[in-house]
Structure formats: structure tokens, C-alpha cells
Structure 1
Amino acid sequence: MKVLTMKYVIGYSEANILMEAKFKNGESFIYNTRDAEKESVIKAFDDNRTGFVYIIALGFDNKVKSITNIWIGKAVQREYTLKLDIKAFKLLDGEENECLRSLYEKPERDSTKLEEIPSYLFIKELPIVEFFHLAYKVPSGLINEKLRKNYPCDIYSKHTENTCYKYDAEQYSINNQTLAQLSLYAKRPIGKKNPHEFRNEFQRDKERIVHSKSFRRIVDKAQVYNTSKGDHYRKRLTHTLEVSQIARTIARQLKLHEDLTEAIALGHDIGHTPFGHEGERQLDLILSGQIKLAEFHHPENFGGFKHNYQGIRLANYLEEKYVDYEGLDLTYQVLEGILKHTKIKKHKKDERNCSTCLNKCFDVSEFLMIGESELLYLDQDFCSTLEGQIVAVADEIAQRGHDIDDGIASGVLTIEELVYELKKIVEMEPLVKIIVKVLDRINDAKRTLIDKKDLQRAELTPVILGFFIDRLLIKFNERISSYIERYSGFKSDPVIKEEVIYFDAEEKFLIDELERIINLRIINSQEVNCFDGKSAYIVRKLFKAYYCNPRQLPDNVINRINREINLLGYSCIDIRKGDKNDVANEMEIYQGIRSSGNDVSDYIKQKIFMRNIADFIGGMTDEFANEQFKKLYVPE
């Protein structure tokens, strides 16, 4: 958000002394804008329909050569002049002072410090979430806090043993040399209610995911190629099923919990957007304040968008399946696996430094709406279960295998070209030998082949998958044995404290080389880039349409926006049923271009509005997104 910043020297002049006195008494101070500062004032009020801008006054103490007093207030432009009527409403304390200073400090590569900024009045872009936290003590996970009060968690509830738990014990506790999770260890945000006699907790999670809308929708979400290209190209669902198969194979060999592994695998991509990673990129750019949607739009960072975080938001909150609570109430073990199947960049609450991370961090409280984030073990980037670590590895293996398969099917890569590229890499020699052997078998086939190329491609994928799985299983078993020797007491504290299932340097090199070949021939191809370009355009246009006219959103999205605002204790106008003028004013508050006089309420409404548009677009299938684009922009 655009904040006007004033730097002054404490006690330097009578005007400065008077200004601080006025601030302390809650009175207005008239600031005579200097000629050199007029451009900053004009920019600050440019396209601003709220009538005011936020201002931060930084008091520099010459004795200690540091900024010691920081005030937050509002500035109003006096009629027909560039004079400012400034009224401070908060003096930051020591800890808050440091937080705000961190937002002004630049990355280490830029040595400019706050004390060295020469101008007395300048504009600074600050992350809106951090600003409202400091100015009004608004926590980033407001709805999370409210929902936690509504649903007292019973995560440590104990139940009498039943046949399901006994089954787990027989399957996974044959000896003490197992690090498998058990149904008994399962914890849920709402609580384990009515355990089933024949279904363990992780099996129930798997079934909840399979029967969810989010899972059904990934049948028509692109993986790499346009979903309309053909039925034989991977979509998000077929990728998910392949990850599940690979992960379950590894889990069985390592004697880990197969149901938990499969539940994580089936749910790992439910947070994906239409049009693959390009759709995700566009929503992230919009929600991190890097795209201007309209002339009157002031981009703000509302927490970004990433499919693994969105996956836990869907499973934990957005899915409507039960009368008593939101979401699917999946176990924390599954939620953590969904979150950590790919890289996470955590929001560090003790280092509110969003200005230096280029808006790439994510606050899990924006996505885990019900429950305790501590049980996702965010202090470690890897899963606290081996089953979750397996899915992260299986996801990488599956992607390399089917991207090559789809690339060959599309014609942008041939098997001969693949073998040629692999031969350039000495470490790939064992894989090349296996591939050549398979191709020779096909060439020497005694039966008449209907389509030799198709058979070659069909044989190639399992060869690549098997090559990595076989190599990795040996190393995984060794690491598990080593972990058991070094850590005891797993059954009393079933949390894995270090990464055990991962690609070592050799395997990582091979996986990266395959990815390089894929990028060289497939991801860089004209077909894929045309699809990505069109996808980006559609997602931006959809968001713009809903932002500019919220009444174009469906009733269920509007109802959710209203419910979230009301849940936090604020009133709102129903934009479907309200008076025309009231609705127009309410929509401008959502858009951040009108003030109701209640700054916190306005901020919360804008944040909820933007996040719910992203939820709606993120949940679309490719076909539905195309239909909505035509409905909104193409004349009939």
C-alpha cells in the first residue's frame, strides 16, 4: 500500500516540537509542503477516493543517531492547496518500532539505511497486512482466530481400542524397527469423532478426499498440455493417480502406512488452479500486489497464492461436506503432507520483513482456517511423517516420467532425441543401457505390432520410474535404519525430526538433468507457451471482471464473503439485495477506493473480497474458466 512518510529531527525546530505535542494530544497539525515534496504529495493522493492517505512520521534523534519515535496517522489534503492536515493516532512501542523499521530497511545488497534517506517527505510502498498489524493490531489470520473459538478442538481425545486400531497394530508394529504412522497417532483440527470399526483414520481421510468437489475438479485441470488436446495427455487427476501409485509402492517396500501415503498423494494437488502452473502464477501475482487490474485499482499484498497452501485451505475450510463444521477435517498428518509436498516459504512472525523478500513468503494462518498451525511443524521444511516425505519424492519422479511421455506423444521430442541427450550425461549411462535394451526388445518382437512408436513410449515411462525407485529404495532403507539407531521413543512422540526420504546429490543431479531436457524441448515449445500465454490472459481477465463488478460473482461466493465479514463482527451490504447506492458504495469499499470511516472494517472487507475471488477462480476447471471468460467478454 502507498504510505506517505515524513522524516523529522526531534526537537530541531519549534515546528517539530509543536508537531510532536499535537501528535501526543491527538490534535491535527498543519504541514506546509515544500516545493521539493509536492510531487510526492500529488502521487500519494493520485487516484485516491478515500479522501486521506496514511502517513508515518519518523522522529530522528540526533543524540543517538537513530530513529526513536515512529507515529502512524492520517493526512488529509487541505482544499485547493498541497498543505497537509496530519493527525497521528498511534505511537509505536519498541518492538513495533523495530518491526516497522524492518519494512523500510532494504536488502543487504542495497546498503541504503533509513537514517540515510535525505528527503523529509517521501512515498513508501508497504505490505498492507503488515501495516494493519502494526497500526490496528489486526492479526493476519483473523478468520482463523474466530473459527478456532467457534470450534473447540479435541485433537488429543482418546478412544477405546477397536478392531481398526488393532489392525493397524498388527500391520505396522510387527517389530520396533518401523517408523510408520498409526491411526492411533492421528490428530484432527476438529477432533476424532466416532471412530469407525473397520476404517482407520487415514483411510477415512483418503475417502473424504476422493469424494470431495476439489478432487473431482482436477479431472479437467491441465498438467502441462491443454486439456482439450486429447484424452491421452496427462491432466492433474492422472498425474495425481500416478503419484499415488508410486508413493504407495515405496511405502509398501518400507513398511510404512499405505493409507496415509495414499491420502496425502490423492490430496496433494487439489489446490491447483485451472491451466496448470500458469494459472497459479497469475493468481499469486494479483494477490501479492504485482498486477494492476484496473485504472482505479491499487495493488496490495494480501498473502499471495500457492497451490499447496490453497490445498489445505480447501480441505480445511472451503469444502462444504458436514453440517457441524467447515472443511473435511482431515488429519494434521495429511494436511502437512499436502502443504509440504513442494517447497514452502514460511512467513516469519518474528521477522516482519516482507519488503525484503519480494512478497514470496506465505503466512499459513491465511490458509489453515481451523486448527493449530503448530501441528504442521512449520519449523521444519520437510514432513514430520515418512509417508509425507515419500509423496514429495514420488511427485518429482512422476512429473519427470509423464512429462517426457507426453512430450514424445505430442511430437516435440522423439525417443531418439531423448537417448541422444541422455548419452551426453555420463551419470545417465545405466538408464541409457536399460532404455536401449527395451527398444531392442521391441524391435526384435516376434508379434506384429500395431504401433511400434506407441509401444516404445508405453515401455519408456515405467523404465524411467523404475530406474529411480529401485535406486532410491536401497538408500531410503539405509537412512531409516540409521535414523532408528540415533533416535528412540518414536512411539511416544511419533514425529520425524530430520529429512530421511530425499534425493541425494547423485539422484538430484539426474532428476535435474531430466528436467533440463524437458524444459529444453517441451516447456519451451511453441505449443506449451501459446497455451500458457492464453491461460494467463484468461485468469487476469476473469479476476478483473469480478473485481470491477462483484455482482458478476455467483451467489455462493457472495454468500461466503458476507458470512466471513459478519463472522468477524462487521456489517456489510448484500450486493444482491441492497439499495442501489448502498451497493455501489459497498463495492467501492471492497475495491479499496472508498472509506466508510472504519479503517479496519474496510481493510478486512477488501482482503476477504480479493481472497474469495482467488478461491473461486482457483477452483475452476479449464473448461469452466473458458466458459466464464466467454460469458463475460465474448458477445453472443
Structure 2
Amino acid sequence: MKTDIGFGAQSRAVYAENPFASRGRLYPEPESPTRTPFQRDRDRIIHSSAFRRLKHKTQVFVYHEGDHFRTRLTHTIEVSQIARSLARALRLDEDLAECLALSHDLGHTPFGHEGEDVMHECMAPFGGFDHNAQSLRVVTHLEQRYAEFDGLNLAWETLEGLVKHNGPLVDESGAPLGKFKGGQLPFAIRDYAVKQDLLLHTWPGAEAQAAAIADDIAYDAHDLDDGLRAGLFAIEDMREVPYLAQILTEVDRKYPRLEEGRRIHEIVRRSITKMVEDVIAEGMQNISALDPHSAQDIRLAGHCLVKFSDEMASAEREVKRFLFARVYRHEDVLAVRKLVAQVVRDLFDKFQKDPGQMPEPWNIGLVELSDNDVARRVCDYIAGMTDRYAIEEHRRLFDDTPDLG
């Protein structure tokens, strides 16, 4: 009988996901003699085409604007580091937390949130678009590399954590919750739910909760970093936010003549540290109060356990408000967003009207597809594009491609 000796079993708590008690894969496979199921999932994600494309998909700034700004790939790696740190401190399965961090942005369109907004608008008549649901579609269908199945055939716990890392998607009766309330779940989630039950009505395991909060921590800190280095706001502007003002005062008191680049880094690293330590303390307290004896106890708790304290949650909301006003709504960013929105919209309209313009294999078997299926294929094709490739495709098809440089 296989044991988990040598795989970190000593450090995992009873409420952590146990890879050797996994609910398995949709398509059964022999176990690896050298890797746990979650380690194997991590490796499959890293070697996927969708993961490589993250290098040329952007967060806020489009690809031409500088080599030092975050891309989806660098952001994903940073989320992964924070998720592992949280998992280690809370005695969770680090490999599963890493899997979920590495896969959480695989479904993002080119051009960051602007691309997603436009794709949702274009797909509105066909069920809309959601990047989290698209991530599930990528790992269960669009990655076509293996001889015996489509997708990556990831473990149940990885898929469950990926699709609902922000909380339950439906109530116990199956009615959609959150942003889907009053409507229906995205196509990719509904389509996969027929094949495998991911318990969409419960909270995910603690590893998924750790990956979700790690995303928030990384996003806030690194958009501050990129925004400062891009000159969208000045360091002193951060004093508008008490949480950031406190950090800035700490840095200036300890290093009164620090050069700007190092000063920025000190602010960012201290923000990450404060948020991580807060989540660890809050998570330990919440887990202790629940006294769970299994990962299922975490799912059935009815609320998130790995989260910010109330005080830090309030501070983090203030940071997001600051970033929204100073970065995401900055006139320079909005000007570029308007241009890239037109690129995505043009591509969708062109391919929907003439799907044969898509390259192989996307243009194969189109006559057999309904209008909905054609729109879904166009959506899959565009969503998988990098920023650079989207621009190249627009130049191939149109004479008025915007100059983003």
C-alpha cells in the first residue's frame, strides 16, 4: 500500500487536503511512484501551452510598455509564492495551494480586464464570459496534449479549488450565488458539472482559500509597485491611505535618505509581509475555533476561514479604492484600454461573421456547429491569444490596427 512518507506528511494538518486520499481524476491513471497527485498536477499546469502564454498576457500595462511591469506570468509566480507561504504556516498541502495559484489566471483574455470586459459583452447573447470558468475550460478541454483525454485530467481537489476558490457558486438547491445570482452559471462550469460533481454548493478547501487571498495580496502590492514605477502617482500620494501612510512612515523613519527605487521596494515588501502575517494569524484563529478534523469540515464550515482580519480587510479595500482611482482609471491607462477594447471587439465580430478566417484547427468542422457553438469557438480562440498575437491577427485582418506604442 502506498504511503505518503517522504512527501511532507509530517507537516500536514488533519484538515489539509491529503493527496493520498484524493477523490481521483475523471479519467483514471496509474499513480506516479515519485510524485503526489497534486505535485503531478502542478507539473502538468507548468508544462501547458496556456501557462506559457501568460508570459505575453498583461495585467494593467500592455506588452510594449516595458520589461519590468507585471505580466500574467510574473503575477502568477508571485501569487504562487505567497500561497505556498500561507499553506506552510497553516499546515496545508503546499503543492495543492501552488497548483491553484499557478492555474488561477489561465483563462484570462489578452489585454487584462479590458479584454475580459469586452469578451463578456461580445458573448452576452451566448451566455457571457467569465475568466474563472474559462480557466476550468482550459484545463478540462482546450489543452489537447495527451493521447487518452482532452485537458490535463487534474485531480478532483485541484478542479474544485480552481472553479470555486472565491466561495460556493450555488446554494444547496442549485440556484446560482454571487455575481451569477438570478442568472445561470457560465457555460464552461455547467458543461463540466455534467461530467463530474465539484460540490459547487460548498466552500472550497483551505488550500483554495489560501490561493484566493494570495491573489489579492499580490495584486494590491504589485499594482502599487507598477503604478509608482510608471509614474501614474507619486509615493507621497499614498499617504491618502492610512495603511500605506503607516508603512511609508516606517520606511522613512528607518531609512531617511533611501533612493526612490529601494524606497518603493521597501513599501511593497512590507505591505506583502503585513498582509501575509495578518492572514496567517486570522486563519489560525478561525481554524482553531472551528476545530476541523478533515478537509471536508473546512468545506462545510459555511464561511471562509483563510482571510484577512476585519481591520486588514478594511485597509485592503482602501488600497483597492486608491488603485482604482490612481491606476485603473488613470487617463493614460484608459486611453490604451479603449484602443485594445476595439481590437478584441473587431476580432470577435470578424470571426463570428466569417469563422473560416480563423487558422487551423479552429476553422475545422464549422458547418456542423450551431451559432452558439461557433461563438464559443471564437471566444476560445481569442481568449487564448497573447496581447502580441491579438495585435498581429488584427493587422492581418484590418487596415486600422491601433498603434499602442
- For the criterion TM > 0.5, the same-fold answer is yes
Deviation (angstroms), 1:345: 5.2
Deviation (angstroms), 1:195: 1.0
Does the 8 Å CA contact 1:243/1:395 hold for their aligned counterparts? Answer: yes
Deviation (angstroms), 1:482: 1.4
Deviation (angstroms), 1:520: 1.4
Deviation (angstroms), 1:337: 2.0
Look up the match of 1:432: 245
Change (3 A) 1:221 1:352: closer
Q: What SS is found at the alignment partner of 2:127?
A: coil
Q: Distance in 1 between matches of 2:400 and 2:232?
A: 36
Does the 8 Å CA contact 1:189/1:371 hold for their aligned counterparts? Answer: no
Change (3 A) 1:457 1:367: farther
Look up the match of 1:473: 280
Which of 437, 441, 456 is residue 254 of structure 2 equivalent to? 441
The C-alpha deviation readout for 1:160-187, integer Å capped at 9, x for no partner, is: 315xx333473345xxx53111111223
Does the 8 Å CA contact 1:185/1:494 hold for their aligned counterparts? Answer: no
Look up the match of 2:9: 170
Deviation (angstroms), 1:509: 1.1
Change (3 A) 1:352 1:403: closer
Q: Distance in 2 between matches of 1:406 and 1:263?
A: 26
Q: What SS is found at the alignment partner of 2:320?
A: helix
Look up the match of 1:283: 119
Indicate yes or no: 2:394 matched with 1:629. Answer: yes
Q: Distance in 1 between matches of 2:91 and 2:182?
A: 42
Deviation (angstroms), 1:442: 3.3
Aligned AA for 1:253? A
Look up the match of 1:161: 2
Look up the match of 2:133: 309
Deviation (angstroms), 1:535: 1.5
335-344 or 462-471, which moves further after superposition?
335-344
Does the 8 Å CA contact 1:188/1:332 hold for their aligned counterparts? Answer: yes
Matches within 5 A, 1:343-362: 346=170, 361-362=185-186
Q: Distance in 2 between matches of 1:314 and 1:495?
A: 27
Deviation (angstroms), 1:251: 0.7
Q: Distance in 2 between matches of 1:480 and 1:468?
A: 18
Indicate yes or no: 2:249 matched with 1:410. Answer: no
Change (3 A) 1:470 1:235: same
Aligned AA for 1:521? R
TM normalised by structure 1 equals 0.59
Look up the match of 1:145: none
Q: What SS is found at the alignment partner of 1:443?
A: coil
Deviation (angstroms), 1:358: 7.5
CA RMSD of aligned residues (A): 2.6
Q: Distance in 2 between matches of 1:169 and 1:352?
A: 37
Does the 8 Å CA contact 1:172/1:178 hold for their aligned counterparts? Answer: no
The C-alpha deviation readout for 1:405-447, integer Å capped at 9, x for no partner, is: 11100111111111x202xx4xx3xx534432223433346xx
266-275 or 334-343, which moves further after superposition?
334-343
Deviation (angstroms), 1:363: 4.8
Aligned AA for 2:278? R
Indicate yes or no: 2:276 matched with 1:457. Answer: no
Change (3 A) 1:536 1:606: same
Look up the match of 1:497: 300
Look up the match of 1:274: 110
Look up the match of 1:525: 330
Q: Distance in 2 between matches of 1:352 and 1:213?
A: 31
Does the 8 Å CA contact 2:176/2:185 hold for their aligned counterparts? Answer: no
Q: Distance in 1 between matches of 2:81 and 2:354?
A: 44
Q: Percent identity?
A: 31
Indicate yes or no: 2:104 matched with 1:339. Answer: no
Look up the match of 1:620: 385
Which of 82, 95, 106 is residue 246 of structure 1 equivalent to? 82
Look up the match of 1:577: none
Which of 321, 325, 329 is residue 149 of structure 2 equivalent to? 325
- Higher fraction of helix: 2
Q: Distance in 2 between matches of 1:275 and 1:347?
A: 33
Q: Distance in 1 between matches of 2:187 and 2:346?
A: 27
Q: Distance in 1 between matches of 2:247 and 2:171?
A: 45
Change (3 A) 1:197 1:461: same
Number of corresponding residues? 397
Change (3 A) 1:495 1:323: farther
197-206 or 182-191, which moves further after superposition?
182-191
Larger radius of gyration: 1
Change (3 A) 1:201 1:615: same
Deviation (angstroms), 1:350: 6.1
Q: Distance in 2 between matches of 1:236 and 1:187?
A: 30
Q: Distance in 2 between matches of 1:410 and 1:511?
A: 22
Change (3 A) 1:343 1:537: farther
Change (3 A) 1:278 1:341: farther
Q: What SS is found at the alignment partner of 1:530?
A: helix
Change (3 A) 1:444 1:525: closer
Q: Distance in 1 between matches of 2:35 and 2:276?
A: 29
Look up the match of 1:21: none
Q: Distance in 2 between matches of 1:631 and 1:346?
A: 43
Does the 8 Å CA contact 2:24/2:155 hold for their aligned counterparts? Answer: yes
Question: Unaligned regions of 5+ residues in structure 1, if any?
Answer: 1-159, 290-301, 446-451, 563-571, 574-589, 591-604
Q: Distance in 2 between matches of 1:227 and 1:482?
A: 46
Q: Distance in 1 between matches of 2:88 and 2:250?
A: 28
Indicate yes or no: 2:217 matched with 1:394. Answer: no
Deviation (angstroms), 1:504: 3.8
Does the 8 Å CA contact 1:312/1:338 hold for their aligned counterparts? Answer: yes
Does the 8 Å CA contact 2:15/2:298 hold for their aligned counterparts? Answer: no
Deviation (angstroms), 1:191: 3.8
Aligned AA for 1:387? E
Does the 8 Å CA contact 1:168/1:182 hold for their aligned counterparts? Answer: no
Q: Distance in 2 between matches of 1:269 and 1:503?
A: 22
Change (3 A) 1:345 1:259: closer
Look up the match of 1:379: 201
TM normalised by structure 2 equals 0.90
Aligned AA for 2:332? E
Question: Unaligned regions of 5+ residues in structure 2, if any?
Answer: none
Q: Distance in 1 between matches of 2:51 and 2:350?
A: 27
Indicate yes or no: 2:374 matched with 1:550. Answer: no
Change (3 A) 1:315 1:367: farther
Q: Distance in 1 between matches of 2:376 and 2:387?
A: 20
Does the 8 Å CA contact 1:312/1:367 hold for their aligned counterparts? Answer: no
Does the 8 Å CA contact 2:109/2:116 hold for their aligned counterparts? Answer: yes
The C-alpha deviation readout for 1:288-319, integer Å capped at 9, x for no partner, is: 22xxxxxxxxxxxx221111100010001110
Q: Distance in 2 between matches of 1:277 and 1:549?
A: 26
Change (3 A) 1:350 1:212: closer
Q: Distance in 2 between matches of 1:246 and 1:234?
A: 16
Does the 8 Å CA contact 2:222/2:268 hold for their aligned counterparts? Answer: yes
Indicate yes or no: 2:38 matched with 1:214. Answer: no
Q: What SS is found at the alignment partner of 2:349?
A: helix
